[in-house]
Homo-oligomer: A and B are copies of this chain.
Amino acid sequence: MFKERLERLQKMLEAPLLVLSLGNLFYLSGFRGSLGFLLVLPEGKPFFFCDGRYVTQSREELAIEAEIVEFDQDVVESICGVLSSLGLNCLLVEDAASVSFARRFEGKSCSVSFVPSPVHVLRAVKDKEEIQAIRRAVALAEKAFLEILPLIREGVEERDIAVELEYRMRKLGGEATAFPTIVASGKRSALPHARPTACKVQKGEWVLIDWGVRVDGYCADLTRVIPVDKTASLCFKEAFLALQEAQEVALSCIREGIEASFVDRKVREFLDKRGFSRYFTHSLGHGVGIEVHEEPKLSSKSTTVLCSGMVVTVEPGIYIPEWGGVRLEHMVLVTEYGYILLDTLPEVF
C-alpha cells in the first residue's frame, strides 16, 4: 500500500518533491520519527534524509525502498548534493516548510519552488487500510469512553475524568491521545477548546467531552455531552435537540459530489431558524486521518467537493458565553450513496 501511494504521487510530479511534513512522511513511507525528509523523484527510488538519531530506526520503519542518507547538520546541502549528482537542478518543496527553512536554499545550486503538497490531495481520500485503522481508533476511543462513563457524576473533577479516559485509551492499546482531551462542565463548556480543570461537576450540569486516540498512526475524534443527572435546564434540552437535528441535516447532505461548504451552510441555515446560529462559532467539521485535523474542511469557505473515501467529523456546536455549550461530534465515511457512520456510541446518555 505504501508502494501504491508513492506511485500515485510520482504520477502527479513533474519535478522532484521534498516531503517534510511528518504526517506526509508517515503516509508515504511509514517513518515515525520527529525529523526526516523524503525526496521523491518522478521516477525511481526516493531518497530519505535523516540525522544520526534515526538511521537505525528508519532502516527498521521505512516501508518503501528508499536510499537512506544520513546528514550531519545541513540537510539542505545534502539534498542539493544528491540532486546535483543526479543531474537535476529544480526542486519542489512542500509549502508547510518554515520561512527559515526556505531561506536555507538561498544561494544553493538548485532552483526551488514551494508548493501546496500534492500529498494532502492523496491523503484526503483514505484507502482501505486507512479506513480500517480509523475504525480501530474509533472503536478503542468508544470502549475507553464507556469504561469511564460511570465516573461522570456530581463532585468529580473535570481533570480526573480526562486523566482516567486517557489512561484507558492507552491501556487498551492506543499509541497516544490524538489531541489534548477536552472535559468541560458548567459554564466552561462554552469554551470550544477548554482544558480540563480541577472544577467539580455540579448538580444539574452537563459535561462536554471531546476525546480521541491514535491507533496504528490514525486518529479518532468524538464529542458527547453527558448530563450529570436528570435536572438539566430546559435551555440545555432545547440546544441539545437542535444539535441532534443539525446532525441529521448535515448527515442527510453528505454524499460524493456534494460541496463541503453546502453541508456547512445547510446546518447554519437550520440553526438560524432555531435562533442558535450565532452561537455556532466554528466550522462544521474536518477530515481526520493521520492528523486529527486534515483535508477536507467542512466550512463555509471550503472549495472541496466531497469524494468517496473521505473521512470527516460532523460537529455542530452551540456555545453561549456565561451559560455553557453543547457539541455533538460524529465521524463519517463519505460514499457515493451517502455517509457511513463510523462511531456507534449513542448521542444521549
Contacts and interface: CB of A to CB of B under 8 A. Distances in A.
B56 A191 contact: yes
Interface in A216-248: none
Interface string A167-205: 100110001100010000000001111110000000000
Interface in A263-282: 281-282
Nearest to A181: B176
A53 B193 CA distance: 7
A55 interface: yes
A193 B51 contact: no
A97 B281 CA distance: 25
Contacts of A96: 98-100
A257 interface: no
A167 B144 CA distance: 14
A163 interface: yes
A85 interface: no
Contacts of A97: 98-99
Contacts of A99: 93, 95-99, 102, 114
Interface string A145-178: 0000000000000000011001100110001100
Interface string A53-87: 11111001000000000000100000000000000
A108 interface: no
A301 B75 CA distance: 14
A37 to B, nearest CB: 15
Copies in the complex: 2
Contact of A55 (B116, B180, B281): B281
Nearest to A73: B301
A53 B95 contact: no
A307 to B, nearest CB: 23
A344 interface: no
A319 interface: yes
A191 B55 CA distance: 9
Nearest to A190: B56
A282 B114 contact: no
Contacts of A176: 180
Contacts of A299: 73
A32 B102 CA distance: 28
Interface string A29-50: 0001110000000000000000
A53 B325 CA distance: 12
A180 B217 CA distance: 13
A281 B57 CA distance: 13
A321 B56 contact: yes
Nearest to A114: B99
A57 B191 CA distance: 6
Shortest 8 CB-CB distances between A and B: which pairs? Answer: A52-B281, A95-B100, A95-B99, A99-B114, A53-B192, A163-B170, A167-B167, A57-B191
Given A52-B281, A96-B98, 17 more contacts: A51-B281, A53-B193, A53-B281, A54-B192, A56-B190, A56-B191, A56-B319, A60-B191, A96-B99, A96-B100, A99-B99, A99-B102, A100-B114, A100-B116, A166-B167, A167-B170, A176-B180
